[in-house]
Amino acid sequence: MTLCYPQLSTGASAQFPLSKTTSTRTVMNRLGDGSTIRLADPDSGSCEWELQYRGLSAVERTSLEEFFKVVEGRLLTFLFLDPCGNLLAWSDEPDRADWSADPLLRVEQSAGITQITNTAQTRQTLKQSIDIPGWNRYCFSGQIKSASGSPDVRLFLENSDGHIETSISAATDWQQGICSGDLEGAAETITCGISIPAGAVVKLRHLQLQAQGSASGYRVSTSKNGIFRKTRFDDDTLAFQADGIDNYSTLIRLISRN
């Protein structure tokens, strides 16, 4: 089973305030004529997080402590789902290979807006599957607009353990659709997507998957998204302060290599 940084009882993995610092490296080569060549070094980048927790319950404290012991402090790496990031790949370009469309669903993309047209006589689906733990709580969201009429648009989360679905009657103005929940089990993937009825023409934008219970501000993603698979604790100790009965606080630092 994948070692994944735990979520709190709220479904979130962090609280505000939090800080995220991204570091990159550029290699420079100075030539004999004085000119220079600069190239990015994609394998040397890193991200660092400072996660401040307050009001933790004893159960949440124990969950963090046990995870810290499992990874042996700074020794082992684990999967961290960025609380500030979009877990989808190419969120504004569903015509990319990371997305999967049913055979009779036409997908057209332009300037961050995707139009999907169902040319079949049954529902057709646009979806993306991601290799991250299916048992976490996730929120899939996006803005939806109908070209005409009020088609029944369905957003869903699914894996081999189950299926969660919500419906929205699309209108000619933009409105947000949200599907949120958790699927119990041990699946190592999660799939999110949108299905539309026969003959419907729907526009989409701001598609986003987050490892939390509700939608937050949109962040566009490309081939690099909010999934960090080589993360570790940046400290060898994990200390908690008791602020009251069943009330704890702590500061956790994480570092991830690209």
Q: Rounded to an integer, what distance in angstroms lies between the CA atom of residue 152 and that of residue 162?
A: 21
Are 203 and 147 spatial neighbours (Cβ–Cβ below 8 Å)? yes
Q: Is the pTM of this model over 0.85?
A: yes
pLDDT by residue (tens digit) across 212-253?
Answer: 999 999 999 999 899 999 999 999 999 999 999 999 999 999
Residues 6+ apart with CB under 8 A from 112: 92, 205, 220
The domain spans of the chain are 18-84+227-257, 100-210
Residue 60's H or E segment, with its range, is helix 58-70
DSSP state of 26: E
Please tell me the CATH code under which domain 100-210 is placed.
2.60.120.260
- Split at pLDDT 50, 70, 90, the class of 81 is very high
Give the pair of three-digit tokens for residue 56: 């933790």
Torsion sign across C-alpha atoms 234, 238, 239, 245: positive
pLDDT by residue (tens digit) across 96-151?
Answer: 999 999 999 999 998 889 999 999 999 999 999 999 999 999 999 999 999 888 99
Give the pair of three-digit tokens for residue 245: 């009965």
Q: What is the pLDDT of residue 41?
A: 65
Rounded to 10 degrees, the C-alpha dihedral 158/160/162/168 comes to 20
